[in-house]
Structure 1
């Protein structure tokens, strides 16, 4: 059975925003059976030799599909979509759009937004680097908002793994003030997070994953 290396305990500020949620959400949408291998981050489970043999960067998520080990949330979601035949079109043109927007979520949008969060969290809020990152993030979000006008989903007419990645990138770690001016993004994010599979995934995660004191 597919094994998902997922958090069992994380630092309080990270709980609810970790990237394993992307994988768990995809599996719930697909309906693929799996088992969770719980990892205690504050207890340094990710530093063990056994885990580093699977992911040398010591990061979650990781899947082990009967010996096929895949790391990086984007790669895992694309693998699961290809394997299941779900959450991605089967034609080459449609698949290209899902690949395109999956990469955009993890690079064009996540890089400035996540870097801004890290700089501000580290005490750099209001500095010149922080303001430069804020401007970069705002520009990308404005462009994304324009793309989402009159679109239900990001890559195709149907919900795909690209929507899971983009929605999670636009989630709890993103400064709400950056998203506030963008009605299309807010409506898109709500549309995706209102899906029963996400609610079920998040509720199960919240019940299972402990917050370290």
Structure 2
């Protein structure tokens, strides 16, 4: 993935988090979009929303976000919700998907990250977060969810054997989707048996654009530098 000159000077508005509970810092999905914007070199500004104060359910944002969820972007009057759809739109806007075959592969792996790999992992992370607050309902499902997650991660590990990125030699927005899912798996301690997945996550997270995205995110949330990377806030 290479940074491109933006088609227009008007910045994209990203509705992201301005404040969230500390237990989810570093996992929120607006990070996917921040990373993509940095990678692609598209001009943007962030409108931070205070989730604990209920700003996701109020005013303009409530009108443009069907499920009152972050992230959402406004791009020259065009509103897009859902992180996967936003990633693909940004790649298209930056000229990354002009080749039909590449577009299909990037779309395929973006969907794979968010609809195949993420579901069991996200549920495990949610159970673990609930457990921190003494809520044990559903804890008996964790072993079954872990088995499901391991099947997905094992398949991904085999796919990545001999590959740099999920679509081959080029980093794309599909890798952003997949890596942010794997951060959840890392937090849930699910990556130990998958060396190619571990190598891949580390390779992707070593990119300068990811560091820039994290730095801006941490500054906006008012947490210590490095807190989002380690998810230790």
Superposed pair shares fold, TM > 0.5:
yes
CA contact (8 A) 2:182 2:201 kept: yes
Residue 9 (structure 1) aligns with: 19
Residues 102 and 17 (structure 1), Cα distance of their counterparts in 2 relative to 1, 3 Å cut: same
Listed as ranges, the matches of 1:18-33 within 5 Å are 18-33=28-43
CA distance in structure 2 between the partners assigned to 1:143 and 1:172 by the alignment: 17
CA distance in structure 1 between the partners assigned to 2:90 and 2:75 by the alignment: 10
CA contact (8 A) 2:127 2:139 kept: no
SS in 2 for 1:32: coil
- The runs of 5 or more residues in structure 2 that have no matched partner are 1-10, 224-232
In the alignment, structure 1 residue 107 sits paired with structure 2 residue 115: yes
CA distance in structure 1 between the partners assigned to 2:148 and 2:184 by the alignment: 19
Q: 1:175 Cα shift?
A: 4.0
Residue 128 (structure 2) aligns with: 120
- The runs of 5 or more residues in structure 1 that have no matched partner are none
- CA deviations 1:79-111 (Å, max 9, x no partner) are 01111113x4x2111111111000000011000
Match of 1:169 among 181, 205, 218: 181
Match of 1:85 among 77, 95, 113: 95
Residues 173 and 180 (structure 1), Cα distance of their counterparts in 2 relative to 1, 3 Å cut: closer
CA contact (8 A) 2:121 2:184 kept: no
SS in 2 for 1:170: helix
Cα RMSD, aligned residues only: 1.8
CA distance in structure 1 between the partners assigned to 2:185 and 2:146 by the alignment: 14
SS in 2 for 1:163: helix
CA distance in structure 2 between the partners assigned to 1:127 and 1:38 by the alignment: 33
Aligned length: 210
Question: What TM-score does the superposition give when structure 2 sets the normalisation length?
Answer: 0.85
In the alignment, structure 1 residue 204 sits paired with structure 2 residue 221: no
In the alignment, structure 1 residue 97 sits paired with structure 2 residue 109: no
- CA deviations 1:105-154 (Å, max 9, x no partner) are 00110001101222333344994421111110011111110000000000
